[in-house]
Structure 1
Amino acid sequence: MKSFPITYNEPVIEQVLEHYAEYLGDDFQKYRNHVYRVFHYALYMVRKSEHMNSKVRGQLAYAAAFHDIGIWTDKTFDYIKPSIFAMQEYLQNYPDTKIIAGMIFWHHKRSAYAGKHQLLIESFRRADWIDVTKGIKSFGVPRELTEELISVFPYHGFHMTLVKKSFKHILKHPFTPFPMFKS
């Protein structure tokens, strides 16, 4: 899609992922590509708003980099709070961590988010759903952009990795199979 620029190397994302590379291990590239796809979908949805600026771009990049990191840092599928904790620890002196925490906390909400920072949180929530559903849920993102992002940042089995990790979690916690989902 020629009208929407693809960023191949976002400094914020690269720095965070490099910091957590040891935790990510063999899943590094899978997660990196997921992060970039989510980041771009969120950027696409926010791009035309009067709120889009470098500060918002940085917030989206941090949220994308950290949103699932707790799966690897804490070896858990109940990863929302560990992901937020990792972000807060990493960004101790960064303003607006509450907005980033909101994006992470609500990114698995099953219905639309309404509330403070709605544009960013809802765009980020939708962006993750687009990627998790492989574009079946598009929320208005053009198919051409989805296809381009998948070609540039391929899945590399990311979804199967999530299925395997969720299955292990379900075996250990059958009464809370998907703790990350919010109503």
Structure 2
Amino acid sequence: MKHFPITYNEPVIEQVLEHYSEHLGGDFQKYRNHVYRVFHYALYIIRKSEHMNSKVRGQIAYASAFHDIGIWTHKTFDYLKPSIFAMQEYLQNTPDTKIIAGMIFWHHKRSAYVGKHQLLIESFRRADWIDVTKGIKSFGVPREFMEEVTNVFPYHHFHITLMKKSFKHMLKHPFAPFPMFKN
């Protein structure tokens, strides 16, 4: 595999996470690492596209930082809309918010996304699925790259944290246990 650079400190991500650090509390590092893993996988997937540029990189960084933030800001597992709202509020509805909102809204879609901004939204959706499945779904991202990313940004029991939060949600909402999944 040709070397793909790992970014240790993406300014957009760091600024957003610092802004929400009180909400994230003890989960700060777990979420930060998840954000960076998703960010790197999305960049890797989209790397060969003629659309890859600094603007797209920024959109991926914002989507990565905000995509699950509603779990902590609104203390809910029905977090897609709260995550989008937090992003829109933070970015003050700049022109990119519609694309970033699409990336956040569709990132748990079970099947491929087809539609406007397909390359960007589908790349981000795949990146999150890679991380959520710990690479079982790889979408062509090499195992050695995933290992390199997780060595730099380890899981720190992120999945256990999510399972605990989802279990609490299921107890409160047994008929809507996973509201974030889209068909």
TM range (shorter): over 0.9
Amino acid corresponding to residue 63 of structure 2 in structure 1? A
The reply to whether residue 96 of structure 1 matches residue 99 of structure 2 is no
2:24 aligned partner: 24
Amino acid corresponding to residue 166 of structure 1 in structure 2? S
Amino acid corresponding to residue 35 of structure 1 in structure 2? V
2:57 aligned partner: 57
1:110 partner SS: coil
Cα distance between partner residues in 1 of 2:13 and 2:49:
22
Q: What aligned pairs does 1:113-152 form with structure 2 within 5 A after superposition?
A: 113-152=113-152
Give 1:136 deviation, angstroms. Answer: 0.4
1:141 partner SS: coil
1:64 partner SS: helix
1:76 aligned partner: 76
1:111 aligned partner: 111
Structure 2: any 5+ residue segments left out of the alignment? none
Amino acid corresponding to residue 76 of structure 1 in structure 2? T
Amino acid corresponding to residue 17 of structure 1 in structure 2? L
TM-score, structure 1 as length reference? 0.99
| Deviation string, structure 1 residues 79-132 (Cα, Å, up to 9, x no partner) | 000000000000005321100000000000000000000000000000000000
Structure 1: any 5+ residue segments left out of the alignment? none
Cα distance between partner residues in 2 of 1:102 and 1:94:
14
1:7 aligned partner: 7
- Percentage identity across paired residues of the two chains: 87
Q: 1:93 to 1:101 in 2, by over 3 A?
A: closer
TM-score, structure 2 as length reference? 0.99
Cα distance between partner residues in 1 of 2:145 and 2:94:
31
Give 1:3 deviation, angstroms. Answer: 1.4
1:41 aligned partner: 41
2:89 partner SS: helix
| Deviation string, structure 1 residues 12-58 (Cα, Å, up to 9, x no partner) | 00000000000000000000000000000000011110000000000
Cα distance between partner residues in 2 of 1:96 and 1:135:
29
Cα distance between partner residues in 2 of 1:60 and 1:81:
18
Cα distance between partner residues in 2 of 1:133 and 1:46:
20
Displacement over 2 Å in runs of 4+: none
